[in-house]
Chain A
Amino acid sequence: MHIFKPALVLVFLIGISACKKKDSNTYEVVDTSSYGDNLNKDKSKSNIEFHSILSTNLFQKPSSINELSRTDRVMQSCGDKSLINEVIISNYMNSANVKLPSRKMMTDSTERFIEETFIRFFIRRPTEAEKTWFTNFINANKSNPNFRPELVYTAFAASDEYMFY
């Protein structure tokens, strides 16, 4: 009888711990795209990578290899890469084929414009601080008729972050 009692207790314990009701929960998660942040962008784009990506962003089509090689040589011929990028960007902006959002879209749907611009150029969403700063900046410049999406795109394309991946 003394031997039988512990065995019975053991069987009882195994029984209550093994038998568990299976929960079947459903979480209503919305599908969403995942974007990184700017913390890990520590590799500098080569001249050719930079302009290949830039022309795709601005014209929605890639440049020819001849054009990329030519632009690479021009970039090498100038000591201030940031400056020469700005000149090349403004050269692109003079093209009739550049694809830009309208000024109305920028001012009427500012939040969407900011988000899309960050994703287009930086492959990430803006932080709340960035969103707030740009919203305020665009609103503050609404009365300036020269302030248009082209200038915002120029600033993004000429930024340090755009030179890294």
Chain B
Amino acid sequence: MRRFGIIALALLVGSVAGLAAQKITWMSTQFVPIAEAEFVRNEILAPFAEATGIEVEFIGAEYAEFVSRVEAEYEAGKGEIAVLCGLHGDFVSVLDALADLSEVSPGGTISDTLMKLGQMAGKQAYIPLMQATYLMVVNKKALDYLPEGADIWALTYDELLQWAKNIYEATGVQKLGIPAGPKSLLHRFIHGYLYPSFTGYQVLAFDSGAAVKMWKYMQELWQYVNPAAPTWDAMDTPLLSEEVWIAWDHTARVKQAIVERPDDFIAIPSPAGPAGRGFITVLAGLAIPETSPNPDAAAELIEYLTTPEVQVKILQGVGFFPVVAEAAGAVPSGALQILAKGVSAQAASPDAIVSFIPGGISDEYKKIYKDTFFKFVIKGEPVDVEFLRSQATRLRELYLEAGAPYPAPDGG
């Protein structure tokens, strides 16, 4: 009965949309908070309607609503929704219902790394729209101590170690900062940065030989990490007080430091390990359902949303970073420009290994990564393979219990 109702509604709205050809509906799991939705309607969609004559109706939706509606329209073979916006994981759930966007051209240059993430089930399932990530922020004073030959835009973990060591030997102070407090995002650093960079995976190689090397590396690096690190939840304050000169954290958690002193800081990509440059991308994209009533207008909207100007607007309005290379240069000077440059460089790294945040499993996985760090790094106990093995078993159990796929780069 409910399905029939949806079909009837879809048919009705579909025919109405057919009459007023240039009105399309955009359903999104992003920009859902009222303030953000208003921003999108007034600042992004209103100018688009003026320029193209295409009126876009924006509908915010929760994940469950998003999936059930897209599936219902797909099964009905006819739909009302013309464009979709969601996180990578949202699209994975409705892959069949999405049209191939190989022919749709974005309004700017999107790096291959990001574009490829949108390629699933043999098609370009979505076009990346915006990203959030974690990177390194550096006080310019630290640049004097950079090891010879190191490129700050393509740093390796070995160079980071040498760099922190240089600073320590010259100043007598541990100026490297990793947020390791109880409410920090340390687990992201471990599963999304360290593990992929050293082992190529965030789950599958948890207890591998490469992982043992990685933990030994961390023990060495930790000597040059500020000893107050286990009390820090975010790195903006220690950066501002100059307790640290080099710090890793989420963009939102370092932003305040750069806002207050934009001339003192630069944002750079996270380092690369033996396997590559592991980093987390929270990636949102745009898709067109197979049943879109107006795929041409939808493609036009996608092109518009991926132009550098609109990408910058999104950054300023909701804090998500551009995926388009040209946008980083188009951000007005200040904190956002500094961060955008770093985010953009990280996303465009040729040796990138993109990690996704685990979804659908118990939050206990965070504890598994953090506990291992606590034991080997903070407590400094010798790296114990037996312990790694038992933690790895528990980690895999969590995925098994939830029936969830391993996140990229491992699979899924």
- Verify that A and B bind, or say they do not: no
Residues of A within 8 A of B (CB): none
